[in-house]
Every structure is written in C-alpha cells, then in structure tokens.
Homo-oligomer: A and B are copies of this chain.
C-alpha cells in the first residue's frame, strides 16, 4: 500500500536526504509546507498525507487546520505540545526514546565535573598566570537523586555509578529499576531532597509533575546542592527556585528547559552566578537517530504490526 509522508521539521532537507538513501518502499515525501508565525500554512498538498514525521510544536500548529494523519512520528522525546485538550488525538503517536541517555549524561556530567573539579577557579588562575592547587572535590561518594527512572534516568544512573556516586530514583510506583541503588515513590520527595548532593529531574510535562519542585520543598535542599532540570520546565516553580538561589548562593541550578522557551531575555536568573542556563540542548535529536526509529516503525506500520515507542495520551509520555 502506498503512503504519503509529511516532513514537518526545521531540518527537512537533511531528513529527505536520509530517507532517499534508505529507499523505503511505497513512500512519497511531501516537504514543501511552510507554516508562518500566524499558524497559516502554504504549499504542499497535505490533505491526503497519512504519516507525519514532525517536531511536536510544528505539528500542534498545523493539526487544528487539516485532517490528522493516521500516524505521527515525533522527532523529539517530549510531546507535551501535542497533549492540549483542544487538539485532536485520533491518531497514533510515537516518539523517540533510547537514544537520549548518552547525550543527557554528557550534559549532566560535563557540568557536574566542571563544578566539582573547580574549572572556574583554574580558568581565573590561568588568566592571572597563577599556579596554586586549591581544595579538592570529587564525585566519588556523592549522592545523586534522579526524578524519573526511565531510559534516560537509567543511563544517568549508570554514568553516576561509574564515577562512584550513590544513586536514588523516584517514580510513580516505586519498585526495583536496574542501575539504581534505591527506588521510591514520588510522594516521598521531601524525604529524599535533604540527602542529595545532586538532583536531576528528567520528568515529562504532565499535570502530576507540574511544579513538583516548589516553594514548599526547595527549601529542603542541601546548602550546596546542585539541581539539574533536563526534563521539562513546568516541573519547577521558577519563582521559588529563584528565591532559594538568592538566599543560598552556594546552591547551583543548571537549567536546560523552561516553561517559556526561549527563556525571556529580561529574566533576572540569566545574571545569577549560581545558575547555568542553556537553550534546551542537553540532548538534541540527531536526524540520523530519528530516521532509524522512523524507518523501523515504517516497516512495522506496513506490516500492520504494533509500533515502537507509542505515546500513552492519558499519561502524556
């Protein structure tokens, strides 16, 4: 059976090139669609495209205006842009998983090691041509708490163990997850926050995770704790975090995701010495990896078999 694929990404040229190399059978590609700032689209006859390979926020802009596809393959892990109640949900949604763990580990451990091993101190000393060994820090023996225990969290836990850290994880149900020293339920968050040297949230954006880190529990962090958010911005009540970081200058926050992206240029947090802000780059989707997931799923789709990485719309991930 013939299929018509809509490409809806900021890297359409690269995707078309990769798809052409793969020679997927019976697949016609439409990639000349333009969506302007007012959500109007031009070009491309897309009314009969049955498969979309799309960035979630671009698909979310288009869905109110055209018939939904039968299957939408997201190019990202995070699909919260597609979860709004006002949008149609009568299609199969798959996302990308399993490839982000190594990239997330690079991000988290890059900034962790930079902080624990005092890169800033030695950069300053170099600028002053100053040779002076300072106090020593090591990740060995430090306590890591991960909010979320999925494939990304498991990879982070594995990296942390390699560096000699102890790792706890929190999820909805508790119970054993490989790579963790201990697992508990998210409602025990307040018990675990005071014990952690490093906290990493990889939580998705759902009603249950909204502002799960807030004024009531951020005060429980150790005075020199490091907090990473590489999941979704909505999990942190940013005003409360800002208040804590003002009071406790030894605490560090490394933030890659925000409720409002791009993060507003006039926000005071940009100027905090104990805050690192990056533009949602912890784990980029490489087209080469996305296309592997898509082409495997396309073969399953052609054979009417269940696809990989189907999103449960009720859970939102």
Contact = CB atoms under 8 A, between A and B. Distances in A.
Q: Chain A, interface size: which category?
A: 35 or more
Quickly give the copy total for this chain: 2
A24 interface: no
B261 A131 contact: yes
Interface string A158-171: 11001110000000
Interface in A98-144: 102-103, 105-107, 109-111, 113-114, 116-117, 119, 122-123, 125-126, 129-134, 136, 138-140
B133 A281 contact: yes
A85 interface: no
A274 interface: no
Interface of A: 102-103, 105-107, 109-111, 113-114, 116-117, 119, 122-123, 125-126, 129-134, 136, 138-140, 158-159, 162-164, 261-263, 265-267, 270, 276-281, 284, 286
14 contacts: A102-B138, A102-B163, A110-B110, A110-B117, A114-B114, A123-B276, A125-B279, A126-B277, A131-B262, A133-B280, A134-B281, A136-B281, A136-B284, A162-B162
